[in-house]
Amino acid sequence: MEIVIGLLLSSLSLYLDFTDAECLVVSPARLVVKYGDPASSNCSSDTPVEMGWEATNGGIGLTDKEVKFLRWRVDSVTDWTNKPKCFTDGGQCAKELDITVYKLPDSVSFSYRKPPDPMVEGDLYLLQCLVQNIVPIESLRVTFYKVNTTGEQTELDTQQKPKDNIKTPGNGNYTLDFTPSRDDDGAQLWCSAMLDLGPEGPQPPPVMESDRLNINVHYKPQIKGASCQAAGSALVAVLLLQLIHWL
């Protein structure tokens, strides 16, 4: 008897899970929208039901009659935290639209700390990349670059903020320790900001670069042992010639 009851309960649970999973379908289920752009998504049901959209922007009240489709649409997305949700009469079934609102940065700027200028070989400098007024900041990837006088480009480092679930615009400050060598004299440094929002986002992911900073590096001259010996031998030869001349 217990086995039969257990099987019945298990079957009922599977049935309820199935009906809940299929009661409403939101398509597309995920949207990535630029702030100010239009957006829309359809809610559908296999059988006609009274349904509506709950949203802070573009909400639709429960329909007067049973329908199989109901579209949510706004001409301009202006709410950073809007979470549209399709629901049926009595709230027996509801499906939320996964929507990400993004904004490209107002500016990307590059600088370094530790005066004076120019740089000195072997000293430690703090490179800074400031990305202003961007969202979502967790999708931002900042990369530091260097290109030498021969045109060879080097990627110094790539950084990304941990997920913090902040949905409103903010600033990102990224730093990197840098120790120049004499080979960096005349090189350029800069940073780029790429907003990677996945396959639903703009392709290719938008990239903004800072201005390039030309650097000069002061360094001590290198005097090799062989050069010193040659210089010493030349000096001795000159002195000997002068001594012979005097004699």
Domains of the chain in sequence order:
2-102 (2.60.40.10), 107-218 (2.60.40.10)
- pLDDT band for position 237 (50/70/90)? low
Length of the chain: 247
pLDDT digits (tens, 9 = 90+) for 195-214: 999 999 999 999 999 999 99
Burial of 180 (0-12, 13-18, 19+ CB in 10 A): buried
- pLDDT band for position 162 (50/70/90)? confident
Amino acid occupying residue 194: M
- pLDDT band for position 215 (50/70/90)? very high
Of 212, 126, 134, 209, nearest to 174 (Cα)?
Answer: 126
pLDDT value at 118 more than 50: yes
**More confident of the two residues 204 and 4:** 204
Q: How far apart are CA 199 and CA 193, in angstroms?
A: 18
- Report pLDDT for 12: 41
- pLDDT band for position 241 (50/70/90)? low
pTM for the predicted model, two decimal places: 0.74
For residue 226, the SS3 value is helix
pLDDT digits (tens, 9 = 90+) for 32-52: 999 999 999 999 999 999 999
- Report pLDDT for 238: 52
Match 């199989």 to its residue by tokens: 68
Are residues 129 and 109 in contact, defined by beta-carbon separation less than 8 angstroms? yes
Q: How far apart are CA 238 and CA 183, in angstroms?
A: 36
pLDDT value at 22 more than 90: no
- Report pLDDT for 89: 85
* Average of per-residue pLDDT across 61-68: 92
The tokens of 185 are what? 């004299």
* Average of per-residue pLDDT across 117-138: 92
Average pLDDT of every residue of the chain:
84
The tokens of 152 are what? 């060879």
- Report pLDDT for 172: 92
